[in-house]
Amino acid sequence: MKHCVLLLILSAFCLACSDSETTIDDKVILNGLVHTGQPVQDIRVSLLSEINQPNRYIDPSEVLVVAFWRDEAYLLTEFPDEPGRYFDPLSEVIPEPGDLVSCVIFYESDTVISGSIAPEFPRGLNMPFQTIPLNAEDLNSGVQIPVLWENPEAAFYTGKVVLVSDSLGPINPFEFNEDDALFPLPITTDEAYLIDIDRFSFYGTYALILYRVNEDYVQFSRAEGGEVQFQQNSNVANGAGLFSVLSSDTIFFELIPG
């Protein structure tokens, strides 16, 4: 009996499993945002980096980056001064709405692939007031600037607002934020944005760029924090990242002292 008990105790210790280690693998990261009606020029290819380490790029001689469009293959080239960023050197790939654009990466024995269909351009983008007089007191008044478009099919839209002219100075010289020269607009299936006036810090001319995006972009952007996420919804097979075609329209408006 004593031997039996001893055996049990020993087995508990001797069989205790060791901690396992995970090593980084060479997972290919494909990030590409292709704009409808424009040449392909922003395809980024890298390898998964170790935690808190800079990006790992692949030597261009070891990788083939190919765009497929309208049943043709187009070899993409790395920008000479921007490692990991690929473009269409002959500007031949210019997707139109409804076109399927795919990107395939051949690296070592891996084939990484993703595809996206170019959405329709936004229609009927307009603003009732394109010159908006305001002063510092208006900032907390609850006034909103409407931006409208047509969206009967409830497609996904997102956008950003960018200060495009030289600033005419801060609206409230005692309280302004340099970051407010550019701010994003949330993803929506509505037909309007109502932009709070207190989002603006500067007088000047702004561009509102409205993007019609696919669901793959929406899925990727679901992490609320925006700038950091764990795990992701990726549309890249055998790799990670985001490859998406989108369409955009731009409208300008002006904030002037009122």
Partner 1 sequence: MRSNAFLAGFLLFFCLSASPSIGQDAPDNITIEVKDVTLDEVLVQLMERYDLLIAYDVRKAREITVSIDVKNASIDEVLDEVLADTGLTYQKNAQGIIIKSKPEPDGEDNDNGQAILLKSVEGRIQDEQTGEFLPYATISLKGTSQGASSNVDGWFTIHNVPDTAALVIDYLGFFPQEIKVGDVNDKLTIALKSQSQQLEEVIINYDVVAVDVKSDAGHLVFNPREVTGLPNLGEVDVFRSLQLLPGISATNETSTGLVIRGSTPDQNLILFDGFSVFQVDHFFGVFSAFNHHAIKDIQVYKGGFDARYGGRTSAVVDITGKSGNRNKTSANIGANLISFNGSVEVPLGDKWTVLFAARRAFTDVIRSGLYQNLIENVRNNDTDSPQTRLGFTNEDLIPEFRFFDVNAKLSFRPSKRDELSFSFYGGEDNLRLFAASQEEFLFSNINDQLTWGNTGVSLRWARQWNAKWHSQVRLAVSEYENRSSLFSRITFDNGIDSLGFQSESTFINNVTDAQLTVDVEWQPNEKYTAVFGASSQGNETSLVTQLSEQDDTLSNTEFDQQGEIFSFYWQNYYRPIPNLKLNAGLRYYTIDLIENNVFFEPRLGFSYSITPEFSLKGAWGRYHQFVNRVINNDVNDGLPDFWLLADGEVPQKESEHWVAGFNYTKDKWSIDIEAYHKQTDQVLDFLPLGRYFPAELLPNDQFVVGESRTKGIDFLVTRSTDNYTGWLGYSLSEAESLFLGLNDNLPFPANEDQRHEFKTTHLVSLKRWKLSATWVYASSRPFTAPSGQFTTPTLTGEPVITFSIESVNAQRLPDYHRMDISAGYTFDLGKWSVESGLSVYNLYDRRNIKFTRFDATPFTVDDGILRDQAILSSFDVELLGLTPNIFVNFKL
Q: Which residues contact 91 (CB under 8 A, 6 or more apart)?
A: 39
How far apart, in whole angstroms, are the C-alpha atoms of residue 100 and residue 110?
A: 22
How far apart, in whole angstroms, are the C-alpha atoms of residue 41 and residue 79?
A: 9
- The reply on whether position 5 binds partner 1 by CB under 8 A is yes
Task: Using CB under 8 A, pick the residue from 36, 41, 46, 205 that binds partner 1.
Answer: 46
- The reply on whether position 109 binds partner 1 by CB under 8 A is no
- Footprint of partner 1 on 122-181 (CB under 8 A): 158, 160, 179
Q: Which is nearer to partner 1, 134 or 212 (CB)?
A: 212
**Sheet with 192-196, side-by-side order of all strands:** 123-126, 144-150, 192-196
Q: Which residues contact 20 (CB under 8 A, 6 or more apart)?
A: none
Q: Phi then psi for 40, rounded to 5 degrees? A: -75, 120
- Footprint of partner 1 on 47-66 (CB under 8 A): 48-53, 55
DSSP-derived pairing of the beta strands 240-257 and 131-134: parallel
Q: Which is nearer to partner 1, 160 or 199 (CB)?
A: 160
- The reply on whether position 227 binds partner 1 by CB under 8 A is yes
Least distance from C-beta 22 to partner 1, angstroms? 5
Name the site residues for partner 1 (rule: CB under 8 A): 1, 4-5, 8-9, 11-13, 15-17, 19-20, 22-25, 27, 29, 31, 33, 42, 44, 46, 48-53, 55, 158, 160, 179, 182-184, 209, 211, 213, 217, 220-233, 240-242, 246
